[in-house]
Amino acid sequence: MTIDAKTVKQLRDRTGAGMMDCKNALKSNNGDMDKAVEYLRKSGIAKADRKSSRKTDQGIIFSYIHPGDRIGVMVEVNCETDFVAKNDRFTSFVKDIAMQIAATNPITIKREDVEETIVEREKHIYNEQAKLLGKPEKVIDRIVEGRLEKYYQENCLLEQPFIKDTEKSVQELLTETIATLGENVHISRFARFEVGEGIPSDSGS
């Protein structure tokens, strides 16, 4: 069937996917817009890993102030093109990430970013705790690794449960976003501020 350019553009505007991808999705779904969106999402997930090495030098820096004005977040999220940077799906994702950071206070984006001294400190703590509980030596290593995994899930942004849908991780949300947009998306850096944080107490009072 013939798909007119206007319909292709509508799908591109809705998903941020490439023109040829949009045209093929519409053809594969007999021009049905909603089915074409779902088709792009599913096929995109399979391609998301291949996109992860592609250059991302566009994007936005987004600021978010949590209700109550006591927590603020700035986050930079990058993509491949200025077109996607202006896409509503992309900006919605960035806002969700900022809200996630405000709510959960992660220390890094991914586990590889956690300083080795922190990892070793946590391992030592878990090891000592297991010994105090009288756990056998042969299972202590497994206990330590299990607790370290939980530490990563609580403190590394990509491994945290997504606050709006705890059945998925932030990494899974990112993969879905890459699939929908048809471009590599990368969370580059963030800063979180909380009123009173880092201010030393007045020892003279």
Predicted confidence (pLDDT) per residue in 148-165, tens digit: 889 999 999 999 999 999
The region, left, alpha or beta by phi > 0 then psi within -120 to 50, assigned to residue 13 is: alpha
SS3 category, 150: helix
* Domain presence at residue 4: yes
Predicted confidence (pLDDT) per residue in 49-103, tens digit: 556 567 788 999 999 999 999 999 999 999 999 999 999 999 999 999 999 999 9
In 3D space, the residue among 133, 156, 130 whose CA is nearest the CA of residue 145 turns out to be: 130
Q: Identify the band that residue 15 occupies on the pLDDT scale cut at 50, 70 and 90.
A: low
Number of domains in the chain: 2
* Domain presence at residue 138: yes
**Looking at residue 143, which CATH number applies to its domain?**
1.10.286
Instruction: Look at the pTM and tell me if it is higher than 0.75.
Output: no
* Domain presence at residue 47: yes
* Domain presence at residue 148: yes
* Domain presence at residue 9: yes
* Domain presence at residue 140: yes
* Domain presence at residue 172: no
Could you list the residue range(s) of the whole structural domain that residue 44 is in? 1-51
Least confident of 4-13, 39-48, 102-111, 133-142: 39-48
Q: Identify the band that residue 4 occupies on the pLDDT scale cut at 50, 70 and 90.
A: confident
How far is it between the farthest Cα atoms of the chain?
Answer: 80
What is the Cα–Cα distance from 41 to 199, expressed in whole angstroms?
Answer: 46
